[in-house]
Structure 1
Amino acid sequence: MKRNIRGMTLAAMLLSASASVHAGDQEYADAEQASQAFVGDLGVQQVAHNSTHVGNLSSYSPVTVGDMQLGSTVSQAGCTSCDSFSCDGGCDSSCDSRFGSGKRFGRLLNLCDKDGWIRAEGMIMFMEARTAPALVTTADPTEFPVLPDPNNGAGSGATTQVVFGEELDGGVSGGTRFDVGRYLSDNFGIGGRFMWLSENGDDFSASGNGTGDSIGRPFFQIPLAAPGTASESALIVNQFSTNPGINSQRGTVNASFSTDLLSAEAYARMMYCKNKSSRVELIGGYSFFRVDDNVSISSRTTDVVTNTFLADYSDFDTQNEFHGGQIGYESLVSRGAWTVRMLTKVHMGNMSRTVTNYARTDVGVDTTITNTYNSSLLVDENQGTEEESDFTFIPELNLTLGYRFRDHVSFTVGYNFLYFDKVALAGEQINRNVDGTDGPRNIDPADFDFDIVDGSLWVQGISLGTTIDY
């Protein structure tokens, strides 16, 4: 009995001494808070978290009396804050009691109890080169700017070069992408994403005053009366003539192509599996894509002697709209301030394609137009608007590396890839075969009918951005 009394007395003295030391250091804000700390009281940790102790919490050492430990671990060795995802337990231990709810989704950027995200990225993207027939050619002076054709005799088109057409490469395009979302529970969240790429294309122009290199617009002549004699030909834009019976021609030609892309998504994400430093989530939702493509070409040729002119304009415009669903997964691995994220999805749905071909030809003298026709060198019966749709897939891959340079904010750099199948591209709708009818003509709108040619298009590039957790 005396030993027990001595033990209790010793414990009371130790507690009294500890409280006195803390009181001398002004670690208790008032007597009421100080009275909350006693042996076995689980509220000791809460007192510490409420900053009733002054000084570095990580230096607080539990006091053991017998088999009982006063308080619990306030901060783990080497951890300076609950944001340290690399600490043992991460957001599953001390942060839970500190923040109450103990939500884990702040792990996305090594933060505790953060269940929303905003991602903004600038994109530098490359599009696959589109294809089209040879639309503008040049040749040496006095040479006919026709494409090489054995049917025209040896050496025909030997100096001809294609200066617009065949491969339409728009180079680099800039764009933006935004991703905003929020977790509604520990295992389920919703979000939305929007992407826009600026116009990917180029312009071309060439002109002459009746001298210099020959400029032409090539086509393939198919005489109706003798289809077996089909051969390459060209509409002259500029050429110097040495033949007495043929006048020189002067003129200009302008051409352009462009492709625009935008998308919008609404999705949900659900936890599939996770551990201390990685996670995998399943993603599903709605997807919308739109790809617009255009090729246009116009020329004006004037006879240098008679001043008669022929102005020819052709425009090919396509719109591709995709509505469907998406399914995929996103995996994330974190090491300290670094994160690696991989998003793999496939969009499945209906691709609606609309193709509109427009043509106009003006004939006149000097500045006076004497006749106008709704056809052109490249557009005869195959003009107007056609629509069709098919079921298709759009695979997508995003790989992103992020660095958290401060709480809540990370810098990211990533690689992005998209592939579109069954899209109508303007250059592939151009048919350079001319049926041999002499001169431009008016087309009855009832004859507007043509087949849509399907193609494919990939887009890839890098993104630089910022991620904010809230």
Structure 2
Amino acid sequence: MLKRQNLARWSLWLVQHLRLPQSGRFVASHIAASVAFAVCLMAASPVEAQSPSNSGRQARGPVRPGNTSRSAAPARKQAKPHDPVVTAASHQEIIEGDVILDGGYEVQGSNIGCDSCGGGGCDSCSVGGPLCDSCHVPHRFCICFPAHGWVHAEYLLWYQSGMRLPPLVTTGSGANQATAGVLGAATTSTLFGDDVVQDGDRSGFRIRFGWWLGAFPGWGVEGEYVGLGENTETFTAASTGTPVLARPFFNVLTGAEDAQLLAFPAMIGGDVTATTTSQLDGAAVRFRRQLYSTSGCGYSPWYCQTVPTSTRLDGTVGYRFWELDESLQIQERLTSQLPAPDDGTFNIVDRFATRNQFNGGEIGFMWQGRRGWWSMDALMRLGIGNVHQTVTVSGTSTIVNSVSGTNTTANGILAQRTNIGTFERNEFTMVPELGVTLGYQLTRRLRMTAGYSLVYWGNVVRPGDQVDLNVNPELFAPEVSPFTGANRPQFQFVETDYWVHGLNFGGEFRW
């Protein structure tokens, strides 16, 4: 303060003793008076000096604790009226290392938001900041594309709820043709069906990608694709007559269980192949909004020091698509061992295919917590919309006989003219999704992840549920004419629930 008062006195003395003209002395006296007045104001008011280390924007979020050093800075001193100058030091720790914003974005300088725009776009952006500071175009056109973004690719090891099938292939004793392979007979056992298929592990992949919109702070857009490739399971059985092979059904003419023989001693032989397929695909486009975030320091059980911590909560809203395609096919190739006119070969196919397509809106929440290099993510989403169900039933029979030649008809055993066709309808449904992921930050931009996901889908149609075992055998090729009895099998929609869950392993890259 004394130095500033002396400076004011010296300014006045110079004006009085310099040999200046009257006009120049008048101007100089005004300048000196202004300097003296400013110095007096500075001396009378306490000034708080800012630590150079705190002049820029403080980085938020996790800090990769590399070579960590700390300086325990003193607390900010309270200014008193009689103190001319109060010097304050930062109360925050100084931690060396790679600084990463909430969500994993590297801090580069103090640029938050758009610094400048030209040509209708932004030169540089970062998430969470204000709109463009200076633009040559209206703010609504100042969009960074892309701003800070991310790509998350994962390998999926998932399991789905199995497809239930009725009894489709049986075996039994060759002693009695009337009861061979018939359900309920003491010697009959089921070789294929009356069980669940397509319930094993499935391999697939999922990719999520997106970016934050610099012109709209806290808003981002994300795309997603999920694919579980087509999985095929096959059952095959063959016999020249022993053991017995049969296709069971309920005979509506006799009102009792019956069976079509595929292999029986001295009568017929052949093979049967049953194939099931299943494929799941999904996609989504959603907006992402940061709702809440915190950052601070916490104790690390792996280091004798504190580490940066952060949490954030994002809300999502968008469009969700799922498609489940499945099929069941039974094919039999038989050769008669009887003489003409009952000789010949038979190639018979039944096929049931289903498709479920979900289109709807999606809302959800995503939470993320970070502690040092480690992170945990949790998500909860709900899709609400329409499922378009499609069931296709088809069949063919090709018979080659020495007397009648070759004949092909559009029917099989369980697929007859009474239920063959394509059937469609729409149903309301909901598809919730849950997920949890653990992550480890390898570098400033790369994070390795491992997690668990669960998707539930109500109101789906699956092939095995659309099979009607009630059959009128007069429909078998060649069809009996005139036809009598009930028109069976028949088609009707049968719904069930579907879920898929499993482990995810992958990596996330952010820029």
- The structural deviation recorded for 1:133 is 1.2
1:237 aligns with 2:262: yes
Q: Is the 8 A contact 2:72 2:93 kept in 1?
A: no
Q: Is the 8 A contact 1:203 1:257 kept in 2?
A: yes
**Alignment-mate amino acid for residue 189 of structure 1:** G
C-alpha distance in structure 2 between counterparts of 1:367 and 1:180, whole Å: 65
**Alignment-mate amino acid for residue 356 of structure 1:** T
Gaps of 5+ in 1: 7-38, 50-55, 107-113, 150-155, 224-228, 241-246
C-alpha distance in structure 1 between counterparts of 2:171 and 2:443, whole Å: 59
C-alpha distance in structure 1 between counterparts of 2:100 and 2:377, whole Å: 19
Alignment of 1:248-267 (within 5 A): 248-267=267-286
> Which TM-score applies when normalising by structure 2?
0.69
SS of the aligned residue for 2:167 comes to strand
Corresponding residue for residue 203 of structure 1: 234
**Alignment-mate amino acid for residue 128 of structure 1:** S
Q: Is the 8 A contact 1:398 1:417 kept in 2?
A: yes
2:427 to 374, 377, 390: 390
Pair 368,436 (structure 1): closer, same or farther in 2 beyond 3 Å: closer
C-alpha distance in structure 2 between counterparts of 1:367 and 1:399, whole Å: 67
Pair 309,180 (structure 1): closer, same or farther in 2 beyond 3 Å: same
Alignment of 1:68-467 (within 5 A): 68-69=86-87, 76-83=93-100, 98-101=110-113, 115-142=148-175, 144-149=179-184, 156-184=185-213, 185-211=216-242, 213-223=243-253, 229-240=254-265, 247-276=266-295, 277-306=310-339, 307-365=343-401, 369-380=405-416, 381-437=418-474, 439-441=476-478, 450-467=491-508
Q: Is the 8 A contact 1:170 1:201 kept in 2?
A: no
**Alignment-mate amino acid for residue 439 of structure 2:** G
C-alpha distance in structure 1 between counterparts of 2:4 and 2:319, whole Å: 72
C-alpha distance in structure 1 between counterparts of 2:393 and 2:335, whole Å: 26
Q: Is the 8 A contact 1:216 1:234 kept in 2?
A: yes
The C-alpha deviation readout for 1:351-404, integer Å capped at 9, x for no partner, is 111111111112223799522221111011100111111111111111111111
Alignment of 1:24-39 (within 5 A): none
SS of the aligned residue for 1:437 comes to helix
- The structural deviation recorded for 1:147 is 4.1
Q: Is the 8 A contact 2:198 2:278 kept in 1?
A: no
**Alignment-mate amino acid for residue 432 of structure 2:** P
- The structural deviation recorded for 1:99 is 4.2
C-alpha distance in structure 2 between counterparts of 1:173 and 1:461, whole Å: 9
Q: Is the 8 A contact 1:298 1:311 kept in 2?
A: yes
Q: Is the 8 A contact 1:57 1:75 kept in 2?
A: no
C-alpha distance in structure 2 between counterparts of 1:130 and 1:347, whole Å: 23
- The structural deviation recorded for 1:67 is 3.9
**Alignment-mate amino acid for residue 191 of structure 1:** E
Pair 272,145 (structure 1): closer, same or farther in 2 beyond 3 Å: farther
SS of the aligned residue for 1:76 comes to coil
The C-alpha deviation readout for 1:389-424, integer Å capped at 9, x for no partner, is 111111111111111111110111111111111111
**Alignment-mate amino acid for residue 278 of structure 1:** T
**Alignment-mate amino acid for residue 137 of structure 1:** T
C-alpha distance in structure 2 between counterparts of 1:438 and 1:100, whole Å: 75
**Alignment-mate amino acid for residue 252 of structure 2:** I
The C-alpha deviation readout for 1:9-47, integer Å capped at 9, x for no partner, is xxxxxxxxxxxxxxxxxxxxxxxxxxxxxx999795599
- The structural deviation recorded for 1:271 is 2.0
C-alpha distance in structure 2 between counterparts of 1:366 and 1:59, whole Å: 96
**Alignment-mate amino acid for residue 460 of structure 2:** V
C-alpha distance in structure 2 between counterparts of 1:399 and 1:320, whole Å: 27
The C-alpha deviation readout for 1:174-214, integer Å capped at 9, x for no partner, is 11111111111432111111111012340111111223x21
Pair 262,96 (structure 1): closer, same or farther in 2 beyond 3 Å: same
Q: Is the 8 A contact 1:392 1:422 kept in 2?
A: yes
RMSD: 3.9
**Alignment-mate amino acid for residue 335 of structure 1:** R
C-alpha distance in structure 1 between counterparts of 2:407 and 2:148, whole Å: 68
The C-alpha deviation readout for 1:420-467, integer Å capped at 9, x for no partner, is 111111111111111242642569xxx998322222211111110101
SS of the aligned residue for 1:315 comes to strand
Pair 236,346 (structure 1): closer, same or farther in 2 beyond 3 Å: same
- The structural deviation recorded for 1:308 is 2.0
Q: Is the 8 A contact 1:57 1:74 kept in 2?
A: no
Alignment of 1:3-42 (within 5 A): none
1:469 aligns with 2:499: no
Counting matched residue pairs gives 401
Pair 159,59 (structure 1): closer, same or farther in 2 beyond 3 Å: closer
Pair 366,455 (structure 1): closer, same or farther in 2 beyond 3 Å: farther
SS of the aligned residue for 2:493 comes to coil
C-alpha distance in structure 1 between counterparts of 2:463 and 2:400, whole Å: 30
SS of the aligned residue for 1:393 comes to strand
C-alpha distance in structure 2 between counterparts of 1:265 and 1:330, whole Å: 15
